[in-house]
């Protein structure tokens, strides 16, 4: 009882603090207006019809997200599960984007149903990937991450293809609590009443589930219907919240963990405590956002403030929340035992064919033609071809080095957050240094990539760079960067769509000079990587083996990681982030028989160049005259591959 009283008191203090930050009126005047005094002056009208509704919405949304987070974590016995990591938020977001673009005249109720269907579809996909009996460990987090990336790529494609209808989506995507009047409060309140049903029904179900499925069944509880019903109610709350205020992450992830840390032991206690902590957390983060906005010319979305606090907290909790059975190594399909000449020939033929398609293939109205390009069209095509080839090869080699260095087949620049660090630096420079994102350059991107890499290494060293710790750290960093990017997009200036196109991983704006610089830099770095293949071979065999052969493993480790950061920086600065190439290309090379370091470096570079270049060409013709960025198509291909890999791993473990 003391915990509840202290939390309620903290919530009241947070509300008081938020009120003082948002208005200059005296406390007496605020109380009088709350009690029913008719507002006359502008500041009074703003207080009654803007400030107060914002606080009420913050409490409603925070409480519902905290409750749903606790419900999901208790249902699955997974302390790292939430609407953010379960894929439901991205599913609802994609559905709302589709509704806003293709059905702009629909009302709020229809949008809610779209969000519900999207969230349920994403959740069903995650459950299909992991299996209903495998929700307590890391695989469900990985599945949620893959679904988030995949659905995010689709949402980005829809926005880019329909930018004239999507201008209001950026603030929504950043998670904003600023409301106009009490309309949203009146709309949200009855829908949040589903939370009372959860509080009434869930404690008994969750208590019985703690003793295991067999024990619960013996006591007359039918697990599956109850499980799905409670999840459906939780997803309804999440969908309603996202419809009202947009995507706000981390609340449902952190508050149940904090509740348990502060002593919540029973199922009912954790649900109620998470509800109160969720309201407190969102009110405080919203107050933090309001306070920060006083020092900038732009408003700070509440979702960005929540991510700034939530990402470090996720890293902290992940250090103890990953179970022993999750310290596993994902085994790739064995593939071919050795590299054959005809495999190399097939890759080269595919690469050359792709280059010829991009060079000679012409779209005219509805017909497809092959013709030799004139000087003007060739001046547009060859920089895109060269950029995509260099970007794919560079990211593929970066992924190969990472997987070899930390003995983790799931390592890649995007999954570990290295690409996110480069994105952060470039967007930050664009926002606060007065330069466009295309002028920031590789040096800025390198600083961001190295910063993210250092964070990952410092946090991972204690646990010997175990895959779960590194992956969860990468997820946290990526979520933080995404919130920051959404903040940049929500500013609504002229650079918004340029940033969004760049974030999609496009060669559209790359100039001839940039493409040559990128190709030269990547080629030079690939030669360095190939010359250091002996180092990578020795480190792959183990630090002791490397030391016995006279190699200073620590120095070699750092230099090779700097090489990875440089490759990521050059590619990201010129083309933008391209997900999954660093994961997909090394895997394909290994399965095609490239077992040695030199072989894998060469084959993965060829495959990476082919995948990005072919995706870039396909994006130009598949929806002609509109264009899809290469990064979007690669994300769809790579995300699908990652999902198949997780499904295969589940089936293999089951067998």
CA angle in degrees (0–180, nearest 5) for 574-578-581: 125
Mean local confidence (pLDDT), 522-541: 86
> Are residues 600 and 332 in contact, defined by beta-carbon separation less than 8 angstroms?
no
Q: Quick one: which of 413, 351, 360, 420 has its CA closest to 388?
A: 351
Mean local confidence (pLDDT), 377-388: 88
Mean local confidence (pLDDT), 264-283: 89
* Cβ burial, residue 442 (10 Å; 0-12/13-18/19+): buried
Q: Quick one: which of 506, 502, 496, 508 has its CA closest to 629?
A: 506
> Are residues 259 and 251 in contact, defined by beta-carbon separation less than 8 angstroms?
no
CA angle in degrees (0–180, nearest 5) for 635-641-643: 100
pLDDT band at 164; cut points 50, 70, 90: low
Q: Which residue has the higher pLDDT, 199 or 492?
A: 199
Q: What is the pLDDT of residues 585-637, one digit of tens each?
A: 888 888 888 888 888 999 999 999 999 999 888 888 877 777 788 888 888 88
pLDDT band at 329; cut points 50, 70, 90: very low
* Cβ burial, residue 109 (10 Å; 0-12/13-18/19+): exposed
Q: What is the pLDDT of residue 396?
A: 93
Q: What is the pLDDT of residue 610?
A: 93
* Cβ burial, residue 604 (10 Å; 0-12/13-18/19+): buried
Q: What is the pLDDT of residue 324?
A: 40
pTM check: above 0.85:
no
* Cβ burial, residue 275 (10 Å; 0-12/13-18/19+): buried
Q: Which residue has the higher pLDDT, 17 or 599?
A: 599
Q: Is the pLDDT of residue 213 over 60?
A: no
Q: Is the pLDDT of residue 469 over 70?
A: no
Q: How many CA atoms lie within 13 A of 471 on its CB side?
A: 27
SS (H, E, C) 436-482: CCCCCHHHHHHHHHHHHHHHHHHHHHCCCCCHHHHHHHHHHHHHHHH
> Are residues 77 and 260 in contact, defined by beta-carbon separation less than 8 angstroms?
no
Q: Which residue has the tokens 């593939």?
A: 335
Q: What is the pLDDT of residue 327?
A: 44
Mean local confidence (pLDDT), 430-452: 73
Q: How does DSSP classify residue 131?
A: -
Query: How far is the C-alpha of 111 from the C-alpha of 107, rounded, in Å?
Result: 6
């Amino acid at each position: 009882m003391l915990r509840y009283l202290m939390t309620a008191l903290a919530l009241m203090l947070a509300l008081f603090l938020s009120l003082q930050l948002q208005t200059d009126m005296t406390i007496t005047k605020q109380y009088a207006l709350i009690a029913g005094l008719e507002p006359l002056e502008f500041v009074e009208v703003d207080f009654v019809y803007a400030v107060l509704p914002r606080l009420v919405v913050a409490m409603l949304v925070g409480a519902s997200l905290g409750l749903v987070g606790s419900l999901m974590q208790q249902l699955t016995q997974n302390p790292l599960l939430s609407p953010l990591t379960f894929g439901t938020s991205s599913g609802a977001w994609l559905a709302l984007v589709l509704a806003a673009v293709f059905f702009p005249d629909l009302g709020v109720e229809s949008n809610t149903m779209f969000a519900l269907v999207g969230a349920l579809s994403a959740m069903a996909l995650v459950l299909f990937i992991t299996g209903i009996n495998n929700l307590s460990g890391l695989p469900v987090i990985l599945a949620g991450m893959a679904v988030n990336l995949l659905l995010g790529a689709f949402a980005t494609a829809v926005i880019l293809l329909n930018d004239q209808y999507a201008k209001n989506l950026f603030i929504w995507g950043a998670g904003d609590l600023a409301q106009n009047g009490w309309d949203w409060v009146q709309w949200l309140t009855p829908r949040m009443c589903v939370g009372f049903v959860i509080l009434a029904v869930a404690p008994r179900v969750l208590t019985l589930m703690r003793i295991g499925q067999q024990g619960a069944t013996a006591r007359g509880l039918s697990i599956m219907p109850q499980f799905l019903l409670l999840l459906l109610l939780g997803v309804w709350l999440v969908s309603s919240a996202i419809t009202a205020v947009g995507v706000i992450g981390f609340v449902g992830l952190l508050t149940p963990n904090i509740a348990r840390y502060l002593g919540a032991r029973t199922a009912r206690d954790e649900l109620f405590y998470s509800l109160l902590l969720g309201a407190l957390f969102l009110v405080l983060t919203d107050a933090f956002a309001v306070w920060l906005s006083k020092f900038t010319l732009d408003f700070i979305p509440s979702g960005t403030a929540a991510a700034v606090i939530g990402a470090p907290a996720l890293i902290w909790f992940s250090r103890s929340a990953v179970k022993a059975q999750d310290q596993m190594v994902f085994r790739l399909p064995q593939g071919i035992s050795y590299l054959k000449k005809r495999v190399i020939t097939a890759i080269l033929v595919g690469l050359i064919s792709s280059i010829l398609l991009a060079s000679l293939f012409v779209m005219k109205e509805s017909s497809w033609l092959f013709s030799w390009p004139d000087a003007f069209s060739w001046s547009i095509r060859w920089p895109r071809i060269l950029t995509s080839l260099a970007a794919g090869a560079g990211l593929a080699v970066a992924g190969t080095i990472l997987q070899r260095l930390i003995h983790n087949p799931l390592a890649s620049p995007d999954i570990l957050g290295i690409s996110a660090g480069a994105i952060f630096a470039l967007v930050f420079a664009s926002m606060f240094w007065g330069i466009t994102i295309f002028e920031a350059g590789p040096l800025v991107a390198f600083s961001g990539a190295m910063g993210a890499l250092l964070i990952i290494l410092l946090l991972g060293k204690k646990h010997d760079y175990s895959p779960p710790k590194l992956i969860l750290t990468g997820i946290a960093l990526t979520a933080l960067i995404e919130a920051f990017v959404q903040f940049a997009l929500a500013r609504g200036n002229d650079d918004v769509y340029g940033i969004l196109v760049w974030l999609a991983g496009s060669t559209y704006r790359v100039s001839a000079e940039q493409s040559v610089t990128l190709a030269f830099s990547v080629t030079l770095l690939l030669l360095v990587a190939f010359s250091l293949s002996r180092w990578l071979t020795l480190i792959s065999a183990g630090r002791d083996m490397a030391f016995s052969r006279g190699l200073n493993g620590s120095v070699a480790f750092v230099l090779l990681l700097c090489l990875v950061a440089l490759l990521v920086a050059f590619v990201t600065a010129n083309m933008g982030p391209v997900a999954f190439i660093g994961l997909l290309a090394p895997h394909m090379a290994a399965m095609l028989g490239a077992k040695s370091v030199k072989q894998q470096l060469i084959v993965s570079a060829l495959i990476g160049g082919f995948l990005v270049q072919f995706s870039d060409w396909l994006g130009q013709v598949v929806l002609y005259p509109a264009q899809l960025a290469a990064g979007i198509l690669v994300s769809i291909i790579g995300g699908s591959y990652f999902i198949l890999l997780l499904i295969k791993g589940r089936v293999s473990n089951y067998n």
